[in-house]
Structure 1
């Protein structure tokens, strides 16, 4: 009885001991192969020449070979279905040195991320295997199969007969055979490579390849980049989109000190009675023209007024201007202007086709669309696709290279009951088709469609809100915030003197939360922009009662604000107030701001993933170049020479145009020195953006020629305008620059396309020379075993020869000089000025005085007080000006009294405001009769401008009559 029990206990202890040893062997880094189950099964390659191929690869200096094993008479995934602990048993790696094993620590898509730089010295072999006896590999366990394959690879595909002593090892001491397996790391699946080799004593040693410190630093760096992108993403938007100096700016053209500048204005209800092609503008299209609309409010119907101008204000977009030391002659700028902005339609060859309707000569009965508008729409779509291209490329890379591997890993981790760890990329952790990403796609798509469907006026509101917030975020003084913090931090010393050292530390600790909030708001653009939008949203939504309470609280907390000096910060903040906006306007503002916030964070999320991915690509590429410097150094030298050639060739073109531009601008400024000097020497606080007009000799064209284009009043100038900024910075017209370069004078650079074509031809010749030289160096370098460093030096030395000959041995000053004092240049320059025309949007027209023709009565405008005075200087208001205002509403003059040669501006006040006491029917009948009787004179009445007010609403007309001229400044602003 007892011996039997003892035997059973010994057997149980032996079984437990064996089981524990097997478990320890699987989980330790030194994994011994099991030989009990594999004695009767061997594997060998089907192709006996596999070993010879491996030897040849080793002789070429490869550092790593990847084996993809396939067994005959078995499914392709037979090894992958044997178990989940050993991940992809069909994929094995043979490394020759520690440098190759370091690649196993990286992302398995290191070839793609490094743009192929890390793939240098890495080969892939597909090996067909056969098991003996047939079918034995399928009967083995996972551990036995792993041990069998490992031993076969360690002995270079030799068939191992386990009944005989093991042959001598064929791998070097530094060579390893590795495969990937799944390790439980605190509940998360960790995919690591296990590499094995035989030591000199024939003992099998296996170790896991774990990430080193520098790899963890790389992952942390990637996460840090994402955090920076989130916090500073608004800085990625170009300043030209929202800063004032890059948007429309107001410039003043003063007529003081010059000849009297007058225009003739007529107010009419019937613009069709005049020959006014391209002269009609509706009153609701006149934006922000306060002085001009105030003047219109006091004029009679169908009466000609002669208006003497004091100031003609222009609205100028900065991209139409050039600085004194900048010329737009870059290749990308040239392509953008001609194709994206569709300026190619102005060429003589394409102009007829671009202006032609898409329906040809047929009249379909609706508004015809010219081809150039279709091209502009198409190019806008192309630009949208190009903006989205980085993310589209990221999705394509994921679906083509990363999806299968990520899905397989996720399935293996799920089978083992483990979680997939986050490795720094939400795209890989969630996939680009996750709900979060889909929501971002939908938000951006809906915003784009809604924005495209909005009216132009609402689009301007949309842009205005965004620009204001971005502008405040960028332009608010960071130095002022630092000054405020410094002054507040030194308060203990100001109050207590040297005793302040006793309280300064507690004082700073108490104020640290305030400092943190203020610094985060002003120095973190993303938070700054988001909070500004939320504050603006709160201002528009909060009721007036709550606003009043906030003002009361602010007044009560004024002593605290003074002690903390918060007023210094609040003075530089200027949020848009709700004012008297209607409920519809408030709702629209709410939709705009909310849409901006959601779209901004959606774009930030996608930009974070996209930019971090390309940063990772850059890091991997740099690592690949460094670890394979012996191979990549020659290619780097070639790239360096190509960049040098491109910069040298196109830099020469840029320098040619810049030198010409400097000569032209100096000549223009010297021509207008007297006018500019007075403005430049004025007090900086009083100086304004000013326009100076440069005319050619014997100019017969009118100085002020108003026209209507794109439903906007514009000043079509004859001659050239110099724009003088408040900072005493001159700006010049970009259009004039491109016309001046084509002057037929020795020294002018000529058309840009001709120089760009010549530059590309010259660059092509240099590339041909460089290609020939590189081929020679590499060919003889391989024949005579010249090192990569010497090949690189030879390539650089030979490639620099064209540059040396051009800049050292060639004569300097070969470009023709420009003599601005010559008679030929003066003639060509005057001819260019004479034929040069350009239209500029009018921001406002400020009159000195105006009078009705054939009348002794006249009125003057005081711009400082925004009121009207008569010829004696006495103020005139609407109540005392019935002889001017009332006839406007009740009287219609006959068209026979109009002199067609005297009319320059016609203002149409169709359907004018009426008082309740006036007989509307009689007025309407009188006006219609007057128009009918004088229809014969329609062709004889040529006009320059017609302002149509057909779309006046009843509410607007009532306010127009009730307020009169005195209230016109605020009332007409609503148009």
Structure 2
């Protein structure tokens, strides 16, 4: 039984093969030219001797040619311990992976050999050469002759000398490199063992491989959720206005208009405003409609608000915000330079605007594309610097022996087997850069498609509940017991065999993120690119169905049911902000074929990008896991030499965490206190928070300022890429799960209030913490130098040196906890803080992107009209002076413009009228020449419009602002675009208008 077990372990490669033979006598001897190194081979600090042999007086060294199965016959190892033999079982570059820690105790030596008689070594066979070198090492280079009793003593004390070299074995036609270690037995025989692997070393490599597999399957979970989470990207909040906002609206589908407006909205601007589009369908066209707005719907990104327990104080976050997101432009003196044009004084001569801030953002984005794969760059560096030469030598040596390259799944990396220039890796590089190029394309349509598909897929992955998947699998397993009763016990084996593949597929798809994204990317690529499911009534008797079609539909229905069950909320981005992107490439069969091909190509592109990222991540993560494993192994094995350095490194990490954690704690306390104070100021907060989450919507609350300060009016802004609301005193956001948040800008302003205990700007405190940390590091450095210096002089043991290092390293922590500190705690109930926060609240305003417009028609209240009429009748009876003034003003305003013009014409001579007419014509021609945009209208036409035609919102449904003409579905005909009379400076124009100006209508840019 023991022999069978040994054979099984040998077949598995976990047990080495051994064989013994007598040492023959030869007529050739080898001796080192210099024997001084041999005296120090048994030094207690040496665990492994590494010899590099070279023959003296040979033009063609026989150690480098015709070596047979011996790989690198010129390199041998000598060891007396299991530690040394274990090092030989590791990867060939274990010194690099362990950061040279495992090389402690490894002594390399270059040995020059000479043969006696000269030339005999080159005339013997390859096996005899190996035996001579082996005997030379086992006999300690013949410095001292070993007796049989000495060899027996070494075997009893586990101090047997082993001579090891590398050989290649034929493993089913593949060349497998192993170590052959030999030792002398007391009876004079030579015992050689082909060591494959140790069981613990095999387990180590299996664990490293499992980590790589886990990274491959669960790698998408390492991506930060704020990059694709809907709640972080753009959450929708509702702001209830305490005083309704009244505006004037004008909707038109015509290309001809004579309406002045403050803000113009096109089809593209309102494409995602569903409620606004529904209300527009009920309003008449080409009429000025008074509207009122009682609530605002805004989009709030997660990076613009902060919750109670996440103050923005992290060192990495601060560096990312200031350097990557260019928030450093808000600091002096960057705020004076970032918004300046790169063209300086020549800016008017260039059509496009380009500031230093825009250049810096573009440069940083391009730089980040190349900086993100830094871990993979390090992996490539390790390959070309330490692995490529050895791998090529082994590959060539295997070919010279007529063997193929052996791939060890546990020990060999993919990049070692294929090389970084393999087609698979080149394709990964290409798809990596194509992914960033597709996102950064100038065409928003293409970039939005890619981002929409990726965000929806990752969001669905985030919404998958693994417990729901387990419930689905249990429901499938219990189905026969539910429907068949006791018969299920008889059919259970057959049912298990049939349903096991289906259950395994469900588990793999929904529990392994990489496989889930593979399916989900194709799913959303199909849905996002002009896919409309044909809803066919299954109960219609007019449709003839084949049994196969009915069965397929039933399976599809069950799959859809499972898909909805495993998601905690199947509410992807598609239901909130994303939409279908239509294709206008024809109709009929060709259109369907093109659409299908586009869906497949986009899906393949997204999946290829996913696997490219994962492949690079697996290789980079795998090498770092190996480095960590080998480094920890070296620290444990060589604890006496490395423990004091490790303890010092741990102290540095502890102090670094302590310094920056103090900053975090101070801002966390301040943030909680501020949010509590703001929540106390908000009215109806408890009423809203008491509602269940299913009935509660995310709400933004405005805080009422002090009575002496007027409210900041809410304004509709469209001076940038998207419409925004400028809202004042909007200080608190409460989501459906009752999580309070405040604006990040408000937090930064409150940090800078001049109150005792206020933390101040974040970057100032981080700089102070960094300064304290560097002072502690310098102190620890001096402690370590003192300990090592006196340790070497007085021969202090490594254990005592470690204890001394720890004792000296804890001095700063003891001083911090023992000595009294002068710290001022923040008290929010003081009069000074109340005044400061009231001042900030009264002046705080911020722009928020519009998510939708909820409007109503502003119809006059009949009760108010009756009251006004009653008051007018009473005033008329009394004959009040206000009524007289009102009538006098009305008589002045009701005067016809024609009468005023006639009176002026009577007063002026005819020559002046003619000169004025000629002057107006000359000005009109000059302005036509200076006109740059065909869709705009010159100022003379704008100034000729009456005040009654001025509106706040002008909804233009006739043309969309796209780079190409607006195309109708299935045709290439374009709708003509016309001037819509934009008015950016309406206040100046309004003051320049008079009642005597005639109305002028503009049609296609010509004045009538």
Answer yes or no: same fold by TM over 0.5. yes
TM range (shorter): 0.7 to 0.9
User: In structure 1, what is the Cα distance between the partners aligned to 2:524 and 2:126?
Assistant: 65
After TM superposition, give the deviation of residue 105 of structure 1 in Å: 0.6
After TM superposition, give the deviation of residue 783 of structure 1 in Å: 3.5
After TM superposition, give the deviation of residue 904 of structure 1 in Å: 4.4
Further displaced range: 585-594 or 568-577: 568-577
Q: TM-score, normalised by structure 1?
A: 0.78
User: In structure 2, what is the Cα distance between the partners aligned to 1:562 and 1:372?
Assistant: 52
User: Does the CA contact (< 8 Å) of 1:155 and 1:171 recur in 2?
Assistant: no
Superimposed CA distance per residue, residues 377-419 of structure 1 (whole angstroms, 9 cap, x where no aligned partner): 2222232222211112111111110111111111111111112
After TM superposition, give the deviation of residue 723 of structure 1 in Å: 1.0
User: Does the CA contact (< 8 Å) of 1:704 and 1:715 recur in 2?
Assistant: yes
Distance 1:53 1:155, change over 3 A: same
User: In structure 2, what is the Cα distance between the partners aligned to 1:464 and 1:560?
Assistant: 30
After TM superposition, give the deviation of residue 475 of structure 1 in Å: 0.9
Aligned to 1:781: 791
Aligned to 1:465: 453
Give the root-mean-square deviation of aligned CA atoms. Answer: 4.3
After TM superposition, give the deviation of residue 132 of structure 1 in Å: 5.5
Q: Secondary structure at the match of 2:697?
A: coil
Distance 1:304 1:830, change over 3 A: farther
Q: Counterparts in 2 of 1:486-501, with a 5 A limit?
A: 486-495=474-483, 501=489
Q: Secondary structure at the match of 1:66?
A: strand
- 5+ residue gaps, structure 2: 1-16, 540-544, 586-593, 866-940, 967-975, 995-1001
Q: Secondary structure at the match of 1:453?
A: coil
Q: Secondary structure at the match of 2:736?
A: coil
Distance 1:129 1:38, change over 3 A: closer
Aligned to 1:142: 126
Q: Counterparts in 2 of 1:80-229, with a 5 A limit?
A: 80-131=64-115, 135-158=119-142, 173-200=159-186, 202-229=188-215
Distance 1:706 1:177, change over 3 A: same
Aligned to 1:684: 693
Q: Counterparts in 2 of 1:784-795, with a 5 A limit?
A: 784-795=794-805
Q: 1:36 aligns with which of 26, 34, 40?
A: 26
Q: 1:517 aligns with which of 487, 505, 515?
A: 505
Aligned to 2:473: 485
Q: Secondary structure at the match of 1:259?
A: strand
> Does structure 1 residue 65 correspond to structure 2 residue 60?
no
Aligned to 2:751: 741
Superimposed CA distance per residue, residues 347-389 of structure 1 (whole angstroms, 9 cap, x where no aligned partner): 1211122112222222342313111222112222232222211
Distance 1:261 1:810, change over 3 A: farther
Q: Secondary structure at the match of 2:404?
A: coil
Q: 1:429 aligns with which of 378, 399, 417?
A: 417
Q: Counterparts in 2 of 1:823-902, with a 5 A limit?
A: 823-850=831-858, 896-898=945-947
Q: 1:448 aligns with which of 416, 427, 436?
A: 436
Distance 1:464 1:543, change over 3 A: closer
Q: Secondary structure at the match of 2:726?
A: strand
After TM superposition, give the deviation of residue 335 of structure 1 in Å: 0.3
Aligned to 2:370: 385
After TM superposition, give the deviation of residue 101 of structure 1 in Å: 1.3
Q: Counterparts in 2 of 1:686-835, with a 5 A limit?
A: 686-697=695-706, 698-700=708-710, 702-807=712-817, 809-811=818-820, 814-835=822-843
Superimposed CA distance per residue, residues 403-451 of structure 1 (whole angstroms, 9 cap, x where no aligned partner): 1111111111111111222123222122222222222223333343344
Distance 1:941 1:105, change over 3 A: farther
User: Does the CA contact (< 8 Å) of 2:531 and 2:580 recur in 1?
Assistant: no
User: Does the CA contact (< 8 Å) of 2:174 and 2:404 recur in 1?
Assistant: yes
Superimposed CA distance per residue, residues 285-319 of structure 1 (whole angstroms, 9 cap, x where no aligned partner): 33412344555667789976543112211011112
Distance 1:499 1:894, change over 3 A: same
Further displaced range: 245-254 or 292-301: 292-301
Further displaced range: 200-209 or 231-240: 200-209
Distance 1:532 1:566, change over 3 A: closer
User: In structure 2, what is the Cα distance between the partners aligned to 1:929 and 1:368?
Assistant: 24
Aligned to 2:360: 375
Aligned to 1:405: 390
User: Does the CA contact (< 8 Å) of 2:98 and 2:630 recur in 1?
Assistant: yes
User: In structure 1, what is the Cα distance between the partners aligned to 2:45 and 2:469?
Assistant: 61
User: Does the CA contact (< 8 Å) of 1:263 and 1:704 recur in 2?
Assistant: no
Distance 1:442 1:110, change over 3 A: same
After TM superposition, give the deviation of residue 467 of structure 1 in Å: 1.7
Q: Secondary structure at the match of 1:688?
A: coil
Q: Counterparts in 2 of 1:951-962, with a 5 A limit?
A: none
Aligned to 1:921: none
Superimposed CA distance per residue, residues 83-133 of structure 1 (whole angstroms, 9 cap, x where no aligned partner): 241111221222232211110011110011112221111122233444556
Q: 2:603 aligns with which of 593, 612, 622?
A: 593
Distance 1:60 1:780, change over 3 A: farther
Q: 1:240 aligns with which of 226, 242, 257?
A: 226
After TM superposition, give the deviation of residue 519 of structure 1 in Å: 2.3
User: Does the CA contact (< 8 Å) of 2:529 and 2:581 recur in 1?
Assistant: no
After TM superposition, give the deviation of residue 709 of structure 1 in Å: 4.0
Distance 1:602 1:62, change over 3 A: same
After TM superposition, give the deviation of residue 462 of structure 1 in Å: 1.4
Further displaced range: 423-432 or 489-498: 489-498
User: Does the CA contact (< 8 Å) of 2:667 and 2:759 recur in 1?
Assistant: yes
> Does structure 1 residue 675 correspond to structure 2 residue 663?
no
After TM superposition, give the deviation of residue 534 of structure 1 in Å: 3.4
Further displaced range: 302-311 or 380-389: 302-311
User: In structure 2, what is the Cα distance between the partners aligned to 1:372 and 1:930?
Assistant: 29
Further displaced range: 487-496 or 350-359: 487-496
Q: Secondary structure at the match of 2:839?
A: helix
Q: Secondary structure at the match of 1:174?
A: coil
Further displaced range: 212-221 or 280-289: 280-289
Distance 1:402 1:739, change over 3 A: same
Distance 1:29 1:927, change over 3 A: closer
User: In structure 2, what is the Cα distance between the partners aligned to 1:165 and 1:819?
Assistant: 86
Aligned to 2:294: 310
User: In structure 2, what is the Cα distance between the partners aligned to 1:650 and 1:574?
Assistant: 39
Aligned to 2:402: 417
Aligned to 2:270: 286
User: Does the CA contact (< 8 Å) of 2:79 and 2:161 recur in 1?
Assistant: yes
Distance 1:270 1:55, change over 3 A: farther
Superimposed CA distance per residue, residues 823-852 of structure 1 (whole angstroms, 9 cap, x where no aligned partner): 211221122223433211011121132369
User: Does the CA contact (< 8 Å) of 2:70 and 2:168 recur in 1?
Assistant: yes
Aligned to 1:395: 380
Aligned to 2:998: none
Q: Secondary structure at the match of 2:294?
A: strand
Distance 1:67 1:31, change over 3 A: farther
User: In structure 2, what is the Cα distance between the partners aligned to 1:665 and 1:131?
Assistant: 87
User: Does the CA contact (< 8 Å) of 2:69 and 2:169 recur in 1?
Assistant: yes
Aligned to 1:629: 639
User: In structure 2, what is the Cα distance between the partners aligned to 1:522 and 1:792?
Assistant: 50
Distance 1:829 1:547, change over 3 A: closer
- 5+ residue gaps, structure 1: 1-26, 858-891, 915-923, 943-949, 953-975
